[in-house]
A and B are shown apart, each in its own frame.
Chain A
Amino acid sequence: DAGVIQSPRHEVTEMGQEVTLRCKPISGHNSLFWYRQTMMRGLELLIYFNNNVPIDDSGMPEDRFSAKMPNASFSTLKIQPSEPRDSAVYFCASSPRLDPYNEQFFGPGTRLTVL
């Protein structure tokens, strides 16, 4: 199994530009999570999906952030417009089922730098 795949691995953009991060979960996993990691705030859960449906987006910082999961094998996290404070590593994770005792499998992350 290839694991969770994220693209791009690195993204450098200018303030005000639209940024789209992509994630392909492990085949057969029904739950998908988006996290953001910064030195100041650590790991923060942004949003998670179950069976392609957003369940909780309370962690999304602002309306500039949006996430979609059009099918079981693909999800996007979009920031429009981007700001320097959005600079962080964004992780996607998937889990076989949405239950409390399943571990999550993380992708390698996308390092976003907004200038």
Chain B
Amino acid sequence: AQSVAQPEDQVNVAEGNPLTVKCTYSVSGNPYLFWYVQYPNRGLQFLLKYITGDNLVKGSYGFEAEFNKSQTSFHLKKPSALVSDSALYFCAVRESYQLTFGKGTKLSVIP
């Protein structure tokens, strides 16, 4: 069975500093990996995905993620955090038709 782990419930970062939100996964076959963001009282918004090809994937709002097969990780990164990036971030894996989400990481960017 596929699973996703987000080891940090909360990440705090100062505005302008680089940010990383961690994600590890477990699947039996090829992983299809996604990052979503949820702002308060809103639905989830798609940020980026890894299907195949380059291990560094670029997405919306300046975010990127690095796929590392040997470490089974798919960490979300941004070179310079904005206060408006403060939100709940979900990593998800899809091996077949079902999308399995992690518990989410709350990102707080401090002015």
Contacts and interface: CB of A to CB of B under 8 A. Distances in A.
Interface in A65-112: 91, 93, 98-101, 103-109
Contacts, number: 49
A12 interface: no
A1 B32 CA distance: 26
Contacts of A103: 34, 46, 49
Q: Which of A4, A48, A101, A108 has the most CB of B within 10 A?
A: A101
B75 interface: no
How many of chain B's residues touch chain A, expressed as a range?
20 to 34
Nearest to A99: B97
Nearest to A107: B43
B32 A101 contact: yes
A115 interface: no
Contacts of B45: 106
Contacts of B101: 42-43
18 contacts: A33-B99, A42-B102, A42-B103, A43-B90, A45-B100, A55-B97, A56-B98, A91-B44, A93-B44, A100-B32, A100-B94, A100-B95, A100-B96, A105-B46, A107-B43, A108-B41, A109-B42, A109-B43
Interface of B: 32, 34, 36, 41-46, 49, 51, 90, 94-104
